[in-house]
A and B are shown apart, each in its own frame.
Chain A
Amino acid sequence: MEYGQVIANGLMLGGLYACIAVGFSLVWGVLNVINMLHGSFIILGGYLTFFAWLHLKVNPLVALAPVAAVLFSIGFLVQYLLVNRVITQPVLTTLTLTFGLDMILYNAMNLAFEATPRRIVLDLGRLHLGGVILPYDRVVAMALALVLTAILYLVLRTSRTGRAIVAVRMDRDAAALMGIRVNRVYAITFGIGALMAGACGALVAVVFPITTSVTGLFLGKAFVICVIGGLGSVPGALVGGLALGMIESLASFWFGPQQAILVGFLIMLVLLMVRPTGLVGKKGYE
């Protein structure tokens, strides 16, 4: 079998993984909050996209923006009203809170939508490139993942809100002294994390059957990617995602599919011992 196809598979999977992890990494790095809701946010985005397609005949790529906006508002409210109350507590407290909220959201979705796998039946065709087949929906998903990540990177670097987010991460009290409304910045960051999750969910709905039972899977992947790529940095999630996609694809090819996930975790363990800040991450935040 062609290595070209394996590498192409890996890159496309990696793009999707990067999208999954970016929002999670941002929230963890900036707020020091491990957002257990992340997987459920992705699936919620997927369900909203699916129902928009099913009932309103809206193309998922068009639905992406409104779905992302809806998730942003949900994330903003969750942070502003709930997580902000415990934001200064140790990370395990906030984790417990988001864990509990996740259980509520997960069960609500289960009740409302039921766990039957749903899929958007949309055939966008394939791209044949020198012996390698690239399905368009995965290519678009990967491209959009890169674009969203790039936009996020620019926002953090150049916009006032972005710089405020970075400032709050560097030193919360100093930022407050500079007149930054810290609670609002936290809420915006969490909202952005949810937005990225929602956008990812919209892309996932085209590529993968949506069901509540995979929320834990996505969350787990986000963890591994953040550890591999490095926490809190947008390029880190991108690198981590692409790396994990390539690792799983190559491992599947060399050792058989049943070992693919195992190899991913083994590499994560090795990295934790050898380079705990991840491939790209530095101590602190840029």
Chain B
Amino acid sequence: MTEQSRFGRFLSATAVALTGTALMLSGVQAQTIKIGAPLALTGGLADEGRKQAIAYDMWLKRINAAGGIDVGGRKMRVELVQYDYQTNEQRAQQLAEKLIVDDKVNFLLAPFGSGHTKVVAGVAERYGVPVMATSASSDSIFNQGYKHLFGTLAPNSGSVENLITVVTRQMPNAKRIAILGREDVFPKAMATVMSDSAKKAGLQIISLEYYPVGVLDLATPIAKIKSMNPDWIYITGYSKDLVLARKQMQDLGVKAPVVTMITGPVYKEFIDALGPLAEGVTSASWWHHSAQFRGNDPWGSTKAFYDEFVAREKADPDYVHAAAAAALVALQKAIENAKTLDRAKVRDALAALDIVTFYGPIKFAANGMNGGRDLPIIQVQGGKPVLLYPEALKQGNLQSVK
């Protein structure tokens, strides 16, 4: 064999190998669905971001164990591309853009909280990428005219109205309410929505104040509330603010028959951090594991989701975990219905979605929010959250705070 022909054969062999690899690689690329997720793994919302991460992981493992999502007859595995945006709003925006432009994700998941969801939704809308909001419930996020934003939490007003129903029915003498809210998208929205609904229900709002982000002391506003003698104290904020507030209420000897904190008591860490002080605090939630549903999703039933979570985390799941997993389920179902990964078609499939899952019914209204479901009201009794509402599922009655 001559030198040339040996070299020639080497060249063609290499060419074949390279082409084969390229074909294989492109084949592999085309086989995965990429979903981008900016997560707050550090910074002020690190605790909440972690909850989303757990829920995403649970869904991812299940869906890939079943071979992936069915796209028009072909099963495609799912890949989750995660970045830590450090609870920094600008970084959330930059990472969302990076996920779309560099990582070429097919779809996006929004970060925790209405504030940062808004920012990411803006980026997604610009690029025409459907984005699932797992923990945003404020109307101000969904009234921007975005066509690509869909959220699994129901609107704020629904939970507040159910709360008022429970209190006015079971404690009709509680007429004077004091509201203290955190100056942050979701907590402020919950405070204003309560103020509006309370007025409509005939309650008297004796105080409505806001405290800034990053507060280390709430003694003065709480002492002010004390001097007004309210029947109902309603405070919104994130876990550490609420723990501080409840403790300072005890410090200053502030008592009222009804104490509501949004959304403290639905989280285990709130109850752990307060011990006996958590007793009697009420809250509203978007989901409670005792409301049993059956659905055509990777878990099939609320109980299956609950059991897997408890086995994995040794604690009860809260609505953040459930809503995050449900968002992925909704996206999965929309892809299956659309039979394609085409963003516009999946977007339309999301808009038309009407299903029941382990999380309950999912049907998006025109603005992208999940239709108002019968949002549960809970109260901490005996160290555990007890369901007060809806009537059909309730486990106990409203008790006065001692």
Interface residues of A (CB under 8 A from B): 1-2, 5-6, 9, 12-13, 106-107, 110, 114-119, 121, 123, 126, 133, 135, 137-138, 207-209, 211-214, 217, 220-221, 248-249, 252-253, 256-258, 260-262
Contact = CB atoms under 8 A, between A and B. Distances in A.
Chain B contact residues: helix, strand, loop or mixed: helix
B227 interface: yes
Among B209, B212, B272, residue most surrounded by chain A Cβ atoms (within 10 Å) = B212
B87 A13 contact: no
Nearest to B47: A115
A116 B47 contact: yes
Given A107-B42, A138-B251, A209 B244 contact: yes
Task: Bin chain B's interface residue count.
Answer: 35 or more
A208 B244 contact: yes
A252 B253 contact: no
B251 A126 contact: yes
B275 A121 contact: yes
Contact of A9 (B42, B50, B220, B240): B220
A118 B216 CA distance: 15
B223 A214 contact: no
Nearest to B248: A135
> Which 8 pairs of residues, A with B, have the shortest CB-CB distance?
A115-B46, A135-B251, A121-B275, A119-B273, A252-B220, A257-B211, A117-B240, A9-B219
A16 B243 CA distance: 18
B183 A258 contact: yes
B243 to A, nearest CB: 5
A209 B47 contact: no
A220 B216 CA distance: 12
A254 to B, nearest CB: 10
Interface of B: 41-47, 50, 87, 180, 183, 209-212, 214-221, 223-224, 227, 239-240, 243-244, 247, 250-253, 269, 272-277
B47 A117 contact: yes
Contacts of A12: 219
B220 A249 contact: yes
Contacts of B239: 116-117, 209
A49 to B, nearest CB: 14
A119 B252 contact: no
A253 B50 CA distance: 37
Contacts of B250: 123, 135
Majority secondary structure of chain A interface residues (helix, strand, loop or mixed): helix
A210 to B, nearest CB: 9
A126 B253 contact: yes
Contact of A110 (B46, B212, B215, B216): B46
A135 to B, nearest CB: 4
10 contacts: A1-B224, A5-B223, A6-B223, A9-B223, A121-B273, A135-B252, A208-B216, A211-B240, A252-B221, A262-B212
A57 B370 CA distance: 46
A121 B272 CA distance: 9
B247 A257 contact: no
A99 to B, nearest CB: 14
Contacts of B41: 110
A114 B212 contact: no
Contacts of A126: 251, 253
A215 B210 CA distance: 23
Contacts of A214: 214, 216, 240
Contact of A114 (B50, B220, B244, B252): B50
Contacts of B50: 114-115
Contacts of A9: 217, 219-220, 223
A133 B249 CA distance: 11
B233 to A, nearest CB: 15
A209 B273 contact: yes
A1 B254 CA distance: 13
Contacts of B277: 121
B321 to A, nearest CB: 14
Contacts of B180: 257
Contacts of B47: 114-117, 211, 213
A98 B282 CA distance: 43
A257 B43 contact: no
B220 A6 contact: yes
Given A133-B252, A135-B251, A261 B210 contact: no
A253 B243 contact: no
A153 to B, nearest CB: 25
Contacts of A6: 220, 223
A1 B50 CA distance: 42
Given A1-B223, A221-B216, A257 B42 contact: no
Nearest to A6: B220
Given A119-B273, A126-B253, A213 B219 contact: no
A248 to B, nearest CB: 7
A60 B210 CA distance: 32
A151 B216 CA distance: 26
B87 A213 contact: yes
Given A118-B273, A121-B275, A126-B253, A209 B214 contact: no
Given A115-B46, A213-B87, 16 more contacts: A13-B216, A106-B42, A107-B42, A116-B47, A117-B269, A121-B277, A133-B252, A135-B251, A208-B216, A214-B240, A217-B214, A221-B216, A248-B217, A252-B221, A253-B224, A261-B215
A117 B245 CA distance: 13
B216 A260 contact: no
A209 B242 CA distance: 10
Given A118-B273, A208-B216, A209-B244, A257 B209 contact: yes
Contacts of B269: 116-118
Contacts of A217: 214, 216
B83 to A, nearest CB: 15
Given A133-B252, A135-B251, A211-B240, A117 B183 contact: no
Contacts of A221: 216
A213 B43 contact: yes
B375 to A, nearest CB: 25
A80 B250 CA distance: 45
